[in-house]
Amino acid sequence: METINYQNFRIEAENICVDYNGKVALYDANLRLKPGQICGLVGMNGAGKTTFFNALTGFVNISKGKIRINGESVRSAQKDQTIAYVPQNEGIDSQFPISVWDVVMMGRYGSMNIFRSPRESDVQAVKDAIERVDLTDHLSTPIGNLSGGQRKRTFLARAIAQRASILLLDEPFSGVDIRTEKLISELFIQFKNEGKTILLSTHDMIHVREFCDLVLLINKTVVAYGETSEVFTPENITTTFGGISPDFLFGPES
Amino acid sequence: MEFCSFLTLDSFITDPLTHDFMRKALLMSSLVAAVCGFLSSYLTLKGWALMGDAVSHSVMPGVVVAYALGLPFSLGAFIFGVGSVALIGFIKQKSRVKEDTVIGLVFTGFFALGIVLVSKIKSNIDLHSILFGSPLGISLSDVKQTILISLLVVILLSIFRKDLMLYCFDPRHAKTVGINVFFLHYLLLTCLSLAAVVGLQSVGIILVVAMLITPGATAYLLTDKFDNMTLISVLSAIISSLIGIYVSFWFDLETGGSIVLAQTFIFLFAFLFAPRYGIFKLRKLFVGYK
């Protein structure tokens, strides 16, 4: 087991910009996260949340700025299996002919040989991961036959099997059942204790207060960033959501 | 009597085999079908049907130029196939025109160029065999080329089978764990161009896209496992080729068209009667549908 230095930054993004064919999706965004921190990424649709994730995973190139993962480049983070990405349910083709086992095994691909033939250790990692998300009864179930919550857990298991130290989760709580929600929150606490760094995007303000040590409010750029208790104020949220009152977002009782 | 011999299944199958050109046609078409069928599962899952259509039409000028220059026609076809995709990508990026429009205008442009070239270059190019295929008149050098290309595609697809599946399923994850997505994208395109080249000998440029999508679509309706999908796709492609060639032999029909029609009928059968995804869900009748 590698020792974790809790003082070093896991993620350092400095003034990053991303544009798609000249259209700016994100500019001057900064983020610094240490091991064991959970950060909520909050913003409207089109505010650049997914773009931020894409920049961190290297799926899109940044046009300006710098990203360091564990002090190294995004490219070496990819090679080291440092980052795992858990997509939103809408982001994947649920009709793809593939079983739970095969999806979770994909978490191991990056560390396998060119034919991606699983070793004993890969099989064990996949088994353990599936057990942790409580899907052992569904090993060979095609993902198309799973519920939304089960499918979400499958992709979480893939991230666990990958043994990544950074988890990026796109809307982990959207469209899941109560049981899955409870399981995910338990896993978050375990991940935190294991020293993993978690960045999750969410629409649900209650989850931010519940899990996130830090919050990053974005609207094409960083509106506010810091400890949840300090930054997650009605004023900041209103600014982030372009003037919509937090009452509307939280519901009248909060 | 002709009529009597026709009635026995035995001679229906064995009679054509006495002809050298028929044995060759059956063998080569099965090989081509297997290659296209293998690739087909990836193309249908990736949603590249239109791309397949584009690439297969765009190889036309390449075939003509290669024939005129005495080069292997696969080389010309390959260059124009990949070139068309590069051009589609370029125009899409540099203009506001939507992707499907760009694909449509690029491949028709290439195809038209091919037709114009055929009329200008007065060589012994048989336009009909390029457009509609000529599995019965395949030459020895074509046989060698086809075997070589087919082997190459099968080897590439076999080596990168799982990576390509991941690329079709979740390219973002592939990228995140350090798999070269750019390489996989062009690998799939290369295989597509090569498969189009061998496929056009069987059914011709116009119909080769059917070889690249129909078997995959049929298999997709019949299974939820990727490996089974590939297997079913390959088998249905081979069976269609055999049926198509036999039927065209006995009833004197256009061979390429017959092969594709056989594929279409197999698809329709799956569409209607597939156990889980068919209209009538046969499974319901036998085991009770869950």
Dihedral sign computed on CA atoms, order B154, B156, B159, B162: negative
Query: What pLDDT, on the 0 to 100 scale, is given for residue A29?
Result: 95
What is the SS3 string spanning B239-283? HHHHHHHHHHHHHCCCHHHHHHHHHHHHHHHHHHHCCCCCCCCHH
Of residues A39 and A203, more confidently modeled: A39
Query: What pLDDT, on the 0 to 100 scale, is given for residue A204?
Result: 80
Tell me if chain A has a CB within 8 Å of the CB of B239.
Answer: no
- pLDDT surpassing 60 at residue A236: yes
Q: Considering only alpha carbons, which residue of chain B is nearest residue A142? A: B224
Residue ranges and CATH numbers for the domains of chain A are 1-82+165-179+195-248 (3.40.50.300), 91-163 (no CATH)
**Min Cα separation B12/chain A (Å):** 38
Q: Considering only alpha carbons, which residue of chain B is nearest residue A159? A: B173
Number of H helices, E strands in chain B: 15, 0
pLDDT tens digits, residue range A30-66? 999 999 999 999 998 889 999 999 999 999 999 999 9
Check CB contact under 8 Å for B177 and A102: no
* Summary mean pLDDT of chain A: 91
Among candidates B169, B171, B179 on the partner chain, residue whose Cβ is nearest the Cβ of A98? B169
| pLDDT average, residue stretch A112-135 | 96
Check CB contact under 8 Å for A97 and B225: yes
- pLDDT surpassing 50 at residue B96: yes
Query: What pLDDT, on the 0 to 100 scale, is given for residue B10?
Result: 79
Q: Considering only alpha carbons, which residue of chain B is nearest residue A78? A: B178
What confidence category does residue A254 fall into, taking pLDDT thresholds of 50, 70 and 90? very low
| pLDDT average, residue stretch B111-136 | 84
Query: Helical H runs in B133-180?
Result: 140-159, 161-169, 171-176
Query: What pLDDT, on the 0 to 100 scale, is given for residue B202?
Result: 83
Query: What pLDDT, on the 0 to 100 scale, is given for residue B15?
Result: 85
Q: What is the pTM of this model?
A: 0.91
Residue with tokens 């081979």: B238
Name which of A20-34, B135-149, B209-223, B256-270 the model is least confident about: B135-149
Among candidates B173, B175, B226 on the partner chain, residue whose Cβ is nearest the Cβ of A97? B226
Hey, of B93, B173, B222, B228, which one would you mutate to test binding to chain A, going by the most A CBs within 10 A of its CB?
A: B173
- pLDDT surpassing 70 at residue A251: no
Query: What pLDDT, on the 0 to 100 scale, is given for residue A209?
Result: 87
- pLDDT surpassing 60 at residue A248: no
- pLDDT surpassing 80 at residue B3: no
**Min Cα separation B133/chain A (Å):** 33
Query: What pLDDT, on the 0 to 100 scale, is given for residue B172?
Result: 95
Query: What pLDDT, on the 0 to 100 scale, is given for residue A246?
Result: 55
Closest by CA position to A184, among listed A145, A216, A211: A211
What confidence category does residue B290 fall into, taking pLDDT thresholds of 50, 70 and 90? very low
Query: What pLDDT, on the 0 to 100 scale, is given for residue B63?
Result: 87
- Say what the ipTM of the complex is: 0.92
% residues pLDDT > 70 (chain A): 95
% residues pLDDT > 90 (chain A): 76
Query: What pLDDT, on the 0 to 100 scale, is given for residue B119?
Result: 86
Tell me the C-alpha to C-alpha distance, in Å, between residue B4 and each of B11, B18, B201, B220, B253.
Answer: 10, 18, 33, 40, 21
Check CB contact under 8 Å for B226 and A98: yes
| pLDDT average, residue stretch B242-259 | 94
Q: What angle do CA A77, A82, A87 make, to 5 degrees?
A: 110
Query: What pLDDT, on the 0 to 100 scale, is given for residue B283?
Result: 62
